[in-house]
Structure 1
Amino acid sequence: MLCAAWPQIEGSLASTRRVAELFLEGFHGNYGALTRPSWIARWTGLAENHCVVAASNVQGGASEQAIEAWLCALTAFEVARRLADDSVPENANVSAKVDASMQTFTPLLHELERVRIVGCEQGEFHSYYLSAARPGLCAPAVICISNEDETEATLLARLLPVVIGRSTSILVVAHSSISNDWPGQSELILSCCFDYLSARPDVDATRIGVYGEGWSAVLATNFALAERRVAAAVCDGGLWNWARTQAFNDWMMNATSAIDESTLSRRRSRLARQLKCPVLVVAGGRGMVSVPEAIKLEADCAEAGVDLELAMPRMTRTSVGEFENFVAADECIFEWLGRKLTRRSAL
């Protein structure tokens, strides 16, 4: 079915993202007669074609059409990047093309700023801010923290196609900018990010959330625990801290005494109950949370009346690993954030 759908890709962002979603859901190592490198080349070529269209629209003064074509390119580049993992040489080539397109077309987004976050003990650092506010109105905002092996620009390139047009602003920061060795410093740095957003006239300070990927999900949990002003959190729900505590307990007890499930449930949900904002835990895929533990945590929190939901990105297994359907996953995450932050405004 995908081969039939491929020629129907249009210039619209919705069409490109729909075909990308179908492709990732149906990819199984080799698709039809094409090998994995062939698919990487095909998606990269599609992205480059969209960049050509975007450049042509810029020359013709059609900035809105140029932006949409570029967002199509970013989506196609991200599919190629998912296929071209670190084990294949195409990875660096795709990443370089993404960086080049970002440098060429980000000036078209007048709502996008390169901003400095100051006031932190380790000094200032830069991040990206995309405003969704309309004139005279404030919008909710989300601090988005990249995975540990990604820059803020890489995360921004993936998020732009899903967040533009929504009513939520984003501040995109790199994991390396906020991760530190000693306890508590990451929370202080993220507090600087929160204070920066709170001081902006286009941000509703009562509707600021946090979203962390991979190990950054742990940082997002710790920040939501430390900063009671956080209105919603996409994080690990405290499962990493629970796992460390459980491993320590097992070591102390030499695993000689069995612990009943009710005790485990209480320990598992202890940190989650301390979170005073709605929580979305992403299990599997880009998340570092295991699906079984996340399911148990969700059940524990439901029983305790904690507002915690679980998202499990669709995965496609291949002979060389798994691919996450990032299109569907990102839509799910930002729909959840938009819903929770909108409800927050009505309280």
Structure 2
Amino acid sequence: MTAFEVARRLVDEDAPQDENVLAKKIEASIQTFGCLEQKVEPVRIACSDQTPLLAYYVPVADHDVRGPAVICISREGETASTLLGRLLPAVISRGISVLVVSHEDVLSHWRGQSEILLSSCLDYLSVRPDVDHARIGLYGEGLSAALATDFAVSDRRVAAASCDGGLWNWTRTVASLGWITRTVDRLDETFLSSPRSRLIRQLRCPVLVLAGGRSIVSTTEAIKLQAECIAAHIDIEVATPRIARTTAGEIENFVTSDDSVFAWLQHKLTLNSAS
């Protein structure tokens, strides 16, 4: 799976046909994946519009014990199977179940009402006998990191979230304000700091913000947000991926990044159980 993901990232952006072939190979591997104790389950999430959402579910190895689970949302333009193929090595031995959905399905299924659809996913996990309903986390990539923030704010059942911390919406607001007033370069940092941390103050769960690399979040702004949140006693951490420079350009080390994200989720969801 890791080799497929490396190949997919090395494919020329102008060769979508080659990338589609790799995506199909990943999906075929997912369909046949299995080990002695765990298997991938294609599932359908019931929705109010009676059109089920297709997703992938990977249960914990011990079905007799209620364990933590994480809803994972792919980045834009990426299928659920492609994301799952990449994440399997990071989650398979952590005692965490994962439910993987695609960005496009979350956005289009409910005509923009993504929070309702994600709530249906959380409902699905909450009634599973192998999931502890008090230990359900959330992980979003790319623009889905912004969706994850909005959902974590709207649904207090989320126990931990790897998201954008509200920075995407804040960046768009600042850009719009600068365009309207033509004063973006002269906006005072004190003026900007309050709205930057406003959304994350509504969260009631620990937050991990991925910054830099393929993330939509600027490392500089993430560090500023972290400083503001620490001062306000908000549980937030910032992680940045390792970048390797090759003859093909800069490549994000997604293996170490995924490991660190799910190690953080595992830690926070375990603490939630202990409390």
For the criterion TM > 0.5, the same-fold answer is yes
User: Where do residues 126-145 of structure 1 align in structure 2 (5 Å cutoff)?
Assistant: 126-132=54-60, 134-145=62-73
Query: 1:91 aligned to 12, 16, 19, which one?
Result: 19
Q: How far is 1:200 from its partner? A: 0.7
In structure 2, the gaps of 5 or more residues are: none
SS of match in other structure, 2:238: strand
Aligned equivalent of 1:227, options 155, 158, 162: 155
Equivalent position of 2:82 in the other structure: 154
User: 2: CA distance between counterparts of 1:154 and 1:97?
Assistant: 9
2:186 matched residue in structure 1 = 258
Q: Say if 2:217 is the partner of 1:289.
A: yes
SS of 2:49's partner is: coil
Q: AA paired with 2:155?
A: E
1:191 maps to 119
Larger radius of gyration: 1
Change (3 A) 1:300 1:182: farther
CA 1:133–1:203: 2 relative to 1, 3 Å: farther
Describe the shift of the 1:112–1:101 C-alpha distance in structure 2 as closer, same or farther (beyond 3 A).
closer
> TM-score, normalising length from structure 2?
0.91
Amino acid at match of 2:6: V
In 2, Cα distance between the equivalents of 1:191 and 1:273? Answer: 21
Return 5+ residue gaps in structure 1 as ranges: 1-73
The match for 1:211 among 127, 131, 139 is 139
Shift of 1:75: 1.7
- Structure 1 stretch displaced more, 171-180 or 80-89: 80-89
Q: Are positions 1:79 and 2:9 aligned together?
A: no
Alpha-carbon deviation of 1:92?
4.0
Q: Is the 8 A contact 2:80 2:101 kept in 1?
A: yes
- The amino acid that maps onto 1:232 is A
Displacement of 1:275: 1.2
1:278 aligns with 2:206: yes
Query: How far, CA to CA, are the matches of 1:210 and 1:331 in structure 2?
Result: 15
Q: Which residue of 2 aligns with 1:267?
A: 195
Aligned to 1:242: 170
- 1:114 equivalenced with 2:42 (yes/no): yes
Q: Report the residue type matching 2:148 in the other structure.
A: A
Identity of aligned residues (%): 55
- Whether the 8 Å CA contact 1:144–1:211 is kept in 2: the answer is yes
Q: Does 1:328 align with 2:256?
A: yes
* Structure-2 change in CA distance of 1:249 and 1:149 (3 Å): same
Contact 1:133-1:203 at 8 Å conserved across structures? no
Q: Which amino acid aligns with 2:5?
A: E
Q: Which has the higher helix share?
A: 1
Preserved CA contact (<8 Å) 1:210 1:234: yes
Q: Tell me the alpha carbon deviations over residues 39-68 of structure 1, each in whole angstroms, 9 at most, x when there is no partner.
A: xxxxxxxxxxxxxxxxxxxxxxxxxxxxxx
Cα–Cα, structure 1 residues 98 and 271, in superposed 2: closer, same or farther, change >3 Å?
A: same
Cα distance, 1:305 vs structure 2? 1.1
Task: Compute the displacement of 1:213 (Å).
Answer: 0.3
The aligned length equals 274
Contact 1:120 1:188 in 2 (8 A): no
Supply the distance in 2 between the matched residues of 1:108 and 1:176 (Cα, whole angstroms).
33
Residue 314 (structure 1) shift: 0.7
Matched AA of 1:195: D
User: Structure 2 CA distance, aligned partners of 1:100 and 1:243?
Assistant: 38
Structure 2 equivalent of residue 176 of structure 1:
104
Alignment of structure 1 residues 4-153 onto 2, 5 Å: 74-88=1-15, 90-106=18-34, 110-121=38-49, 123-132=51-60, 134-153=62-81
Contact preservation (8 Å) 2:68, 2:132: yes
SS in 2 for 1:214: coil
**Distance across 2 between alignment mates of 1:266 and 1:110:** 46
Q: Distance in 1 between matches of 2:111 and 2:206?
A: 24
SS in 1 for 2:199: helix
Shift of 1:135: 4.0
Shift of 1:184: 6.1
Higher strand share: 2
